[in-house]
Structure 1
Amino acid sequence: MTKNFFSRFTRNMLAVLVCGVAVTSCTFVADNAVNNNDDDAQEQTERTIWVLSDIHAMAPDLLNDQYQADDATKDPKLMLYSTEILDKLVGDALSAKPDMMLITGDLTELGDQKSHELVANTLGQLVSEGIKVVVIPGNHDVDNADGSTTPQKFAELYKDCGFNMAYAKDQASLSYACEPFDGLVLLCVDTSTGTIGDSTMKWMLDETDKAHEQSKQVVVMQHHNVMEHYDGKSSLQKENVLVNYEDVTDKMMKSGIHLVFSGHAHIPDIA
């Protein structure tokens, strides 16, 4: 039996920049070629995946004057409504029932534990209904300021949102690998520091090789962009791409990684 999750890939924009949240709906179709009395039969299994990024949620009692402005020019992330927007997104997902939701970092604005607990509990509604949820941290989520959430606490809070699905974990970061659907390996890469270190890069490539040896498809999700989305972005908005993005892109492409979901830039786009 062979599986190809990229026999058909469709992408539909559902929302653009709501509280910095970019939402994308993807449909993966797995072609299962089964030998049946020397006749090749094709069975297709369709999986719908929602991809979100940059929720920037904040617990209501942490809001201060800085976030009380109704004028979006003063509060472009709409922090005043961040939890309401998150509730609406989760409600829409409960109605649409995608097979999986990926969130590529910046789940909170300040990285505080109270906001993370709020987000984790809200996402738990999806998990309870059988919708797989997979998250990774962004630069706002861990070790963001004094008293913010540690990497270890982040993994504990979101244990039901990917970390308990992991079959392999990187020892140098919060990166992990899981196989949410048979034949589809998801590399969840922690770029919260703005770079991918040498040991984490080696771990990624090793896991990719192992997956390809078993004829499995590999998709990467991470917070920072791995490619420029326009010429000169690494100079004009260098904080949006990985510090070592050129080296990472080169190694990913040579290893056979062809699809990366990222966030951070607050702009839905394909590079």
Structure 2
Amino acid sequence: MMVMQQISQSMNIGKRRKSLFALPLLAAIILMGGCNNDSHPSAHSASAVNVNADSVQPVSFWVATDTHYLDKELQDGGTAFDAYVSGGDGKMLPYSEELMEALVYDVEQKKPAFLILSGDLTNNGEASSHKKLAEKLKRIEQAGTSVYVIPGNHDLNNPWARSFSGDKQIVAEYLSDEDFDDLYAEYGYDEALSRDEDSLSYLVQAAPGLWLLMIDSAQYAKNEEYGFPQTDGRILPSTQAWMEKCVKLAAKSQASIITVMHHNLLDHTTMQVSGFRLNNSQEAMKLLRQGGLNLVLSGHIHVQDIRRDPAYREGDEAFPVYDIATGAFAVNPHQYGVMTFDPLSRGVTYNTAAVDVEGWAAATGSNDPNLLGFKSYAEKAFASSSYSKALQQLEDSSFSTADRASMAETMAKLNVYYFAGTAAEHLPEIKAMPGFKLWEQVQGGFMAGYINSMVEEQDESNVSLDMVLNGNTR
């Protein structure tokens, strides 16, 4: 569920299976036998995380989310697929394959130590999309970069899995949670220091002194019963208990923890919309505070946004908890987070970077002008989609045709900045536009509320962060 999907919806106002082939703007232990799972042996000894100040250097790693990869063989570019894309939430599905290949290319060129993928790996959980994606992840690991994944609300037991042929959508095979465990075993699960028995959550040592608490926040057990994928998230009580044991083990090993989940810990919009923040976010926040865990990497909402625990006040003894919602990789500007961790200072940096589709296209000899000029093409496509949705929202308004066009133009430009996480720095430009002054006349309605949420003042950056992980000494 994402913001652009909310716009689309406002306009148009399970049982587990074991077989691998069983049948969508406001779219992070082993403890004396208590947290161990002998069926998933650790690839790293807990003692190995002790930091050697003379030899351990800062490590660079990336986080991407909401890749929404769609196997190219599931669509033929026909009318059904075109209608699905144009009525969707801004995902660049026609170039899904190329985007993922460009990400592989970026990894091979820049060689981060590891890559985190925090859910919604596939468009709608198609089995073939998962299999093709896993093949790309294998190439990333062969290039020397480890990969750690967790599922999102689109990925498992999804009755909306589809292929597209001509003017028809065809029900496609989808992946179960058991199959996910098997297919992605090499991308975190087999290396886990500990596995949660009741979800696809796990703990893994990603670098000396740094552990990732990979939390499965998705709800998919009843998707088949409901006939649609459940979009809201939660952390099970038993998973919370397991997380507490993980924290204690990390403290014994003097390891820092970054928590990763698909759903958001904090609100990333002032709009009153449900399904993005964890249903039990207050419980989760309490657990994180008590455990000294002060950094969460999330996705789900598709917008690039960084929030700090609103309960924190300057001067508080405890460190503030940050939730970095990285923008959806499948949506313009198609970016990921570039991060570093210094094991000596526990310092963490985060900055966004757009995937180099143009560089990949040139390196592979592509003659597709859209790929060779992808940055401009993708931004224009996203702006055009936003423009059309705004214009449709204004269809029954009393504004003149010229005024509606001006308002839609404002919304489109603002939406481009918003998804990139740079709206705040462009507010003077936006507020000077004639269309923005017209939006200020609108009372109520989803789109007007959305415009207001995008122009909220914000002191801190949404695209960069420099922080210190809380010392874990429990």
* TMscore range, shorter length: 0.7 to 0.9
Which amino acid in the other structure matches residue 239 of structure 2? T
Q: Which residue of 2 aligns with 1:171?
A: 197
Query: Which of 49, 54, 62 is the equivalent residue of 1:50?
Result: 62
Question: In the alignment, is residue 98 of structure 1 matched against residue 98 of structure 2?
Answer: no
The answer to whether the 8 A contact 1:67-1:75 is kept is no
Measure the CA separation in 1 of the matches of 2:88 and 2:214: 33
Query: Which of 279, 284, 295 is the equivalent residue of 1:248?
Result: 284
Which amino acid in the other structure matches residue 71 of structure 2? A
Which amino acid in the other structure matches residue 109 of structure 1? N
The answer to whether the 8 A contact 1:127-1:160 is kept is no
Measure the CA separation in 2 of the matches of 1:128 and 1:201: 34
Aligned-residue RMSD, C-alpha: 2.3
Q: Which residue of 2 aligns with 1:7?
A: none
Task: Name the structure where helix makes up a greater proportion of residues.
Answer: 2
**Residues 257/198 of structure 1: CA separation in 2 closer, same or farther (3 Å cut):** same
Question: In the alignment, is residue 122 of structure 1 matched against residue 136 of structure 2?
Answer: yes
Measure the CA separation in 1 of the matches of 2:289 and 2:95: 39
Once the two structures are superposed, residues 194-238 of structure 1 have per-residue CA deviations (whole angstroms, 9 ceiling, x without a partner) of 11110011111111111112211111111000111244x5xx231
Question: In the alignment, is residue 221 of structure 1 matched against residue 257 of structure 2?
Answer: no
Q: Which residue of 1 aligns with 2:299?
A: 263
Q: Which residue of 1 aligns with 2:90?
A: 76
Task: Name the structure where strand makes up a greater proportion of residues.
Answer: 1
TM-score (norm 2): 0.47
**Residues 97/33 of structure 1: CA separation in 2 closer, same or farther (3 Å cut):** closer
* Aligned 1:179-258 pairs, distance under 5 A: 179-193=205-219, 194-231=233-270, 233=271, 236-258=272-294
Which amino acid in the other structure matches residue 93 of structure 2? M
Measure the CA separation in 1 of the matches of 2:254 and 2:85: 51
Query: Which of 132, 139, 153 is the equivalent residue of 1:139?
Result: 153
SS at match of 1:68: helix
Q: Which residue of 2 aligns with 1:161?
A: 187
Once the two structures are superposed, residues 101-155 of structure 1 have per-residue CA deviations (whole angstroms, 9 ceiling, x without a partner) of 0000000011011000011001111111110110000001111227421111111
The answer to whether the 8 A contact 2:50-2:254 is kept is no
Q: CA deviation at 1:181?
A: 1.4
Which amino acid in the other structure matches residue 252 of structure 1? L
Measure the CA separation in 1 of the matches of 2:95 and 2:83: 10
Measure the CA separation in 1 of the matches of 2:202 and 2:86: 36
- Which of 1 and 2 has higher RCO (CA within 8 Å, sep 6+)? 2
**Residues 188/75 of structure 1: CA separation in 2 closer, same or farther (3 Å cut):** closer
TM-score (norm 1): 0.80
SS at match of 1:119: helix
The answer to whether the 8 A contact 2:50-2:209 is kept is no
SS at match of 1:187: strand
Question: In the alignment, is residue 152 of structure 1 matched against residue 178 of structure 2?
Answer: yes
Q: Which residue of 1 aligns with 2:313?
A: none
Which amino acid in the other structure matches residue 266 of structure 1? H
Q: Which residue of 1 aligns with 2:71?
A: 59
SS at match of 1:240: coil
Q: Which residue of 2 aligns with 1:109?
A: 123
Q: CA deviation at 1:61?
A: 2.2
Measure the CA separation in 2 of the matches of 1:128 and 1:177: 22
| Farther-moved stretch of structure 1 (206-215 vs 257-266) | 206-215
Which amino acid in the other structure matches residue 240 of structure 2? M
| Farther-moved stretch of structure 1 (140-149 vs 216-225) | 140-149
The answer to whether the 8 A contact 2:50-2:255 is kept is no
Measure the CA separation in 1 of the matches of 2:84 and 2:125: 23
**Residues 77/165 of structure 1: CA separation in 2 closer, same or farther (3 Å cut):** same
The answer to whether the 8 A contact 2:65-2:299 is kept is yes
SS at match of 1:270: strand
Once the two structures are superposed, residues 63-105 of structure 1 have per-residue CA deviations (whole angstroms, 9 ceiling, x without a partner) of 2644336986756111111111111111111101111100000
SS at match of 2:248: helix
Measure the CA separation in 1 of the matches of 2:74 and 2:89: 15
How many residue pairs get aligned? The number is 233
The answer to whether the 8 A contact 2:140-2:146 is kept is yes
% identity of equivalent residues: 31
Q: Which residue of 2 aligns with 1:6?
A: none
| Farther-moved stretch of structure 1 (140-149 vs 257-266) | 140-149
Measure the CA separation in 1 of the matches of 2:109 and 2:87: 32
SS at match of 2:187: coil
**Residues 242/224 of structure 1: CA separation in 2 closer, same or farther (3 Å cut):** same
